[in-house]
Structure 1
Amino acid sequence: MSQTIASTAPRTDWLTPIELLLLGAIWGGSFLFMRVAAQPFGPFALVEVRIVLGALILLPFLWRARAQVDAKRIAQFAIVGALNSAIPFSLFAWGAERAPAGIGAIANSLTVLFAALVGLLVYGERIGLRRALAMLVGFIGVVVLMSGKIAGSDVFSAALAGTAASACYGFAANFTKRWFADVPPLAAVAGTLGCGALLLAPFALATWPAQSPSQAAWGSAIALGVLCTGIAYAVFFRLIQRVGAARATTCTYLVPLFGVFWGWTLLAETPTATMLIAGAMILGSVIVSQREGQRR
């Protein structure tokens, strides 16, 4: 037995950093794909394609857990689906029409801080002084990000939309933790995505583009749904099962870095000094906040 453990441990240790890096690259790339496809599709239509494809990829997991789905569970899926996919994905896509991909990727980092803030204000979860100071620095970073100027871009609106999207994620994270503890994670994701798609469908149909988007836009939309949503969630929760949530969530530190990197290298969106300063403040505060939360 000890021989088996010893022989498999090196392979696992080698695989985990690769998967963490891959997830950071994929989720960072989602902001690149939104930047390419948001204008041709419009936010609602693009997000509808993304959510439907992601839900279809994960549907088998929901089918296996169908005995746990009743009217109350469907209502919970709908609430979290709105807060975890339909609304924030639309906000990020709306922002991607107006500013470089890196803006949304940096704002997305605030999710951890908003999750802690919602836990404090809604559920009375205690936070230490160090974590509170980290949160303050992170939110100051948002102000810095919003103050940036890029020719031809509306940075303020995009950063504000990304911040609002992260606040939605913060509520969704708290609801998910309390409502879906007894549901297999991928089944819960599939349920929330399915309900999110149904909620968004009327808006997507009403704003569906009259002219068919380009192949590049369709390719980006499909990549958002299949790769960045369906497959990425499957890899992420498989990683949680193997190495634990604390280590698996470190991939989120890489998302803003890859978001800025992909925009810079593939779309020639050079990061500004304001973006770099704000990103360092927000990412640093997230790292401190998350470590403090894990210790508590």
Structure 2
Amino acid sequence: MHRLAYFAYALLGLIWGTNFIFTKWAGEVISPAQIVMLRVLFGFVPILAYALYRRELHWAHLRHSHHFLVMALLATVLYYLAFAKGTVLLLSSVAGMLSGAIPLFSFLTAMLFLRQEPINARTVLGMLCGFAGVVLIARPWSSLGGDINLQGVLYMILGSLSLGASFVYARKYITPLQLSPVALCTYQIGIGSVLVLLTTDTSGIAAFTASPRALWGMVLGLGLIGTGVAYILYYFIVAQLGAVKAAGVTYIPPLVALAIGYFWVGEPLATTDLFAVVLIMGGVYVLQSGKKGSASNRITATSTLAKQS
């Protein structure tokens, strides 16, 4: 069974890594808000089916709806929208590399608001390495030259901060509820679907059906597989390998996005980009390898579960 779990592990990393090119293609014909709406709608289908199959949903959970609403805003609507906007403005490989910094922002928000992460030489080194990689990718000193869209980078950072804030909220208010992750995910994505349906301008949204790569990338890549199947794979991995090992999957998507951008799409790749990825991944490793104890394990699990970039 562990062999199957490691196959699912690699598959999940591959799925998350392809989301950026699918977003890029969809962004050529529809708006970022429309991308988010279609993604959560198509992604909700397998998640709901899986939750119903597991019989994880109960009417009694409705009394916690206000918490599910906050999580839907922070970890689905705002997070997906910021990342969609950022990816549209950046190369898909650059957006993918920046997504590798999500654990850094999760750690930062936990350190600031939960006061559960110690400030020591290890954490300082990890944060400095990680954020140095982000700055190296952003290259703000050359933004006027047009080689990297700084606004796109800021959107990626905003999305990461929104996700980090959702993690803090989840740790403080959701974890004590002792609800199934499958149920929590279903409520979060379901409420998120309602929110985007009510707030998204659908004018011209049918344009994505005229582009085969945008159509299949949107429906299958981002929706059914990139959101729905990805959640289900994650639950399986956690059950078989544990939350700490499952968190290691966050190292794969940036590398996949980088490879797709360079080898498949023909996006330029600078030596500094490779060094930046090493810095970000190294910073994340330093931070995660320093976590000990059950509380930290729960933090790692929550943070990784939220990462559906």
- TM-score scaled by length of structure 1: 0.88
Which residue is equivalent to 2:44? 55
Which stretches of structure 1, 4 residues or longer, exceed 4 Å deviation after superposition?
148-154
Gaps of 5+ in 2: 297-309
1:180 equivalent in structure 2: 174
Q: 1: distance between equivalents of 2:239 and 2:174? A: 16
- Residues 133 and 279 in structure 2, CA contact (< 8 A), matched pair in contact too: yes
* CA apart distance, 1:116: 1.5
Structure 2: which amino acid aligns with 1:106?
M
Question: Is the 8 Å Cα contact of residues 25 and 255 (structure 1) preserved in structure 2?
Answer: yes
User: Displacement, 1:271?
Assistant: 1.9
Deviation of residue 125 (structure 1)? 1.5
Q: Deviations for 1:153-186, whole angstroms, at most 9, x for unmatched residues?
A: 6432222211111111111122223333311112
> CA-to-partner distance for each residue in 1:72-107, whole Å, 9 max, x for gaps?
x21111111111111121111112222211222122
The runs of 5 or more residues in structure 1 that have no matched partner are: 1-11
> TM-score of the superposition, structure 2-length normalised?
0.85
Q: Shift of the alpha carbon at 1:128?
A: 4.0
What residue in structure 2 maps to residue 159 of structure 1?
A: 153
Aligned to 1:119: 110
Which of 277, 280, 283 is equivalent to 2:281?
Answer: 283
1:76 alignment partner, one of 63, 67, 78: 67
From 192, 196, 205, give the equivalent of 1:196: 192
C-alpha distance in 1, partners of 2:147/2:33? 20
TM superposition shift of 1:208: 4.5
Question: Aligned in 2, Cα 1:238/1:168: closer, same or farther, shift over 3 Å?
Answer: same
SS at match of 1:21: helix
The equivalences for 1:195-214 within 5 A come to: 195-206=191-202, 208-209=204-205, 211-213=207-209, 214=211
**Is contact 1:138-1:286 (8 Å) kept?**
yes
**1:249 aligned to 2:240?**
no
Moved more, 175-184 or 241-250: 175-184
Shift of residue 292 of structure 1?
0.7
> Which secondary structure state, in structure 1, belongs to the residue aligned with residue 205 of structure 2?
coil
Could you tell me how far apart the structure 1 residues matched to 2:239 and 2:272 are? 38
Which residue in the other structure is 2:212 paired with?
215
Partners of 1:115 and 1:211 in 2: CA distance: 36
2:59 to 64, 67, 74: 67
Residues of 2 paired with 1:252 and 1:245: CA distance? 12
Number of aligned positions between the proteins: 284
Are 1:100 and 2:91 an aligned pair? Answer: yes
The aligned residue for residue 306 of structure 2 is none
2:18 corresponds to: 29
Moved more, 225-234 or 166-175: 166-175
Distance 1:258 1:210, change over 3 A: closer
Equivalent AA in structure 2 for residue 177 of structure 1: R
> AA paired with 1:75?
H
